[in-house]
Amino acid sequence: MFKWRRFNGDPIHLPIKDEVREAIIRETGRGFRLKVCIGTDSQVKGVETEFATVIVFLREGHGGFMFIHNEKTRDVYSIKERMLIEVAKSIEIAYELCDLFTEYDVDMEVHADINTNPQFKSNLALREAMGYILGMGFAFKAKPEAFASSSCANKVVN
């Protein structure tokens, strides 16, 4: 079971789906139009690879907030494998939550920390990641538009 937290470090005790439902109800009740962006970033440090997945809630014209999950592994990956695992982690959460977003009419995008510029190593995984995300029926963003993964998750991958 994933352990989620808020940006300030406070743990989330409810199952993530219940917490997201409460956030949607609370924020739409306050009159905000929401958009959710889900992304994952990773960092290799010595023998460990750490993944950070974020659920970013954007209040149209009024900032946002996010829920964060970190996970460490000692598995060794090629750059392409690691990029695709990041995408798989984002899709797993998007899939778990997508019926909520449909029910409450909240737009959702999956962000991949993959560069559209072929000069970058991560570009090796772009075609597969895009096919994976779009094939699941989700809106897709890659760098430089993929701020959920390349900025938000990047800041919380320790």
Which amino acid is present at 144? P
Q: Is the peptide bond before 144 cis (omega within 30 degrees of 0)?
A: yes
Q: What is the pLDDT of residues 70-119, one digit of tens each?
A: 999 999 999 999 999 999 999 999 999 999 999 999 999 999 999 899 89
Alpha carbons 51 and 62: distance in angstroms, whole number: 28
pTM: predicted TM-score of the whole model, two decimal places:
0.94
Dihedral sign for Cα atoms in the order 125, 93, 40, 47: negative
Q: Are strands 48-59 and 34-45 parallel, antiparallel or unpaired?
A: antiparallel
Per-residue pLDDT band for 45 (boundaries 50, 70, 90) equals very high
The total domain count for the chain is 1
Q: Where residue 39 sits, what CATH number does that domain have? A: 3.30.420
Alpha carbons 31 and 147: distance in angstroms, whole number: 24
